[in-house]
Each structure stands twice: as C-alpha cells, then as structure tokens.
Homo-oligomer: A and B are copies of this chain.
Amino acid sequence: MTMDQHLQLTVDGRLKHFLTIEGLNAALLTQILDTAESFVGLSQNQVKKVPLLRGKTIVNLFFENSTRTRTTFELAATRLSADVLNINIATSASSKGESLLDTIRNLEAMHVDMFVVRHALSGAAHFIARQAAPHISVINAGDGQHAHPTQAMLDMFTIRQHKQRFEQLKVAIVGDILHSRVARSQILALNTLGAAEVRVVAPKTLLPADVEQMGVMPMHDLDQGLRDVDVVIMLRLQKERMNSAFLPSESEFFRCFGLTEARLQHAKADAIVMHPGPINRGVEIASAVADGPRSVVLQQVSNGIAVRMAVMSMTLQPGGAA
C-alpha cells in the first residue's frame, strides 16, 4: 500500500477519506462514478433529498474563499439530509491565533462527522486527515496546486456519460498545467481509468519540467494538440498570472491557446469541450465554443453535485468507514 492508499482507504479497501486520485484503483473510481449515477436522477424528483446522512454534521472548512465550491458541497450535503456548518477561516475571527490542529480538535470534540477542506497550501487536507479522529472523514476540496479530486471525478463522470468507455479515448488538457490542481487530478484519473492518450497542451512556461513522467504527452501547438481528440478539457487561466514571467498578454494567450470554433475543427466531429469554470470568455475559450453544441460545461456542474453526494455517502455511511 502506498501512503495515499493507506490514508484514504480502510483496511478492507473502502473509501475513508477522499484526498487525491493517487493510489485509488480503477475499481474504486468506477464505484464512485456508479454511486454518483444513482444520485443523478434525484434532481428530477419532486423532493430532491434522500435521508442517507440525516443527523450527520458536515463542516465546510474553507481557509480560502470559494463561494462556488462551497455551494456545491453545501447542496450535496443538504440533499443527503446532513446538517452543514460553514466555517470560513479566511475571514473568521474564530482562530484568534489558534493553531490549525487546535481548530480541528475543537470541531472534532463537537462530534462533527466530516471536514470538507479548501486550503491554499498543498497537503492541507492530507494533514487534517492524518490528524483527525477515527470517526471523521475528510474530503479535499482543493489544496494549493496539488489536487482537486472531486472536480476530476465529475469530469470523469461527464466523459463517461458521453463516451461510455475510457479505453479508446484521446484527451487534450489545454492551458496552465503547471499551476493547476485540477489538471493534476484529471491526469491521474484518466490514466487510472485507462484513457488511450492524455495530451497536455501549453506554452513551455506553463508545463512542469517532468510532465512526461505523469504519463502524458506534452505539446506546444494547439492545432496539433487537438487533432483527433475525443475530449478537450480547457483550464481556467488565473488572471493574476497574466503579464508575469509565465505569460504574455491575454490577447496573445488567446491567439495561441484560446479555443475557437475554427480550432475545434481539428478535434473529432463528436468531441466534447469541458471547463472546470468559472470561464474567462475570450481568454482561454471563445464564447461561441463555451455556449456551443459541443460544450458540456453546465453538465459538469450538474454532475458535480451527484459526484460529491457519492463521495460523501461512501465515506460516511454506516459500514462504509472503519
């Protein structure tokens, strides 16, 4: 067992925490997708709730502001009938200089059941999972430039919805790979699920030095990178990285790496276009593509609720944890 397996799985191999795709095998990822499948129909019901986690307390522990991500986890928890406690440490006076560990210990003592953790530092969710009491599950909602595993799984879910199987798929991930926790988690998930080819398309300054070792093919020309792919995943460009050493101007970036309808012609005729949102229109993607017939961007958002419900119920359900 690797360290990540050891940390995320119970002794009998079930999901205890969800921190990273690393160390999880195809069977477990597929179980997440199948469980999510069972929740997708719920949104069509008159009453969009199931009582699976009634009486459980889920804490959204956000050390970094993200209303959008917090919202998806809050909705997922509410639809499982859990009680949600939102704690925003970024703006909170709660800590009063208290250490992270003391904050965790105090919340544990209040008998909460799950921490959904967002943090600017890589490894924060792992740290909390290692320290947390045995009855608590931790879900990583994004840690630094490290991982964003629920985002990757909702992407896998969306791909499976449209392409059924991963085996024959060619996927291009385009944009700022270097700083992207989303890309890192997607690459791991695609390779675990057996995608035929994963390309990362970016200027050299936005690719990690050892990127080939992640099992991907680095490419620097967008047209070439898109050739014959089944899935195009665009990344959000962090505006704060613009006009730095990494990047030229927005318009220059769009000219070279922005996805337009013309460029999309290089992909397969039935290729789908994905983006984790929020979209910078006219920076990494043209509005015509984002709103066009191949875009599955809003389906990703919908699937995000189902996938988060899946992960929450798998880690917290009676018998589902050590």
Spell out A's residues near B (CB within 8 Å).
43, 45-49, 54-57, 65-68, 71-72, 74-75, 78-79, 83, 85, 87, 92-99, 102, 105-112, 239, 277-281, 298-299, 301-302, 304-305, 318
Contacts and interface: CB of A to CB of B under 8 A. Distances in A.
A108 B96 CA distance: 33
A262 B43 CA distance: 59
Nearest to A64: B93
B110 A301 contact: yes
7 contacts: A49-B55, A67-B87, A75-B112, A98-B277, A106-B278, A106-B301, A109-B302
Nearest to A105: B298
B67 A94 contact: yes
A125 to B, nearest CB: 20
Given A105-B298, A298-B106, A301-B109, A66 B93 contact: yes
Nearest to A299: B109
Given A48-B55, A48-B56, 4 more contacts: A45-B55, A57-B78, A71-B110, A96-B278
A301 B109 CA distance: 6
A55 B46 contact: yes
A65 B110 CA distance: 19
Nearest to A238: B96
Nearest to A76: B110
Given A49-B55, A67-B92, A71-B110, A99 B281 contact: yes
Contacts of A302: 109-111
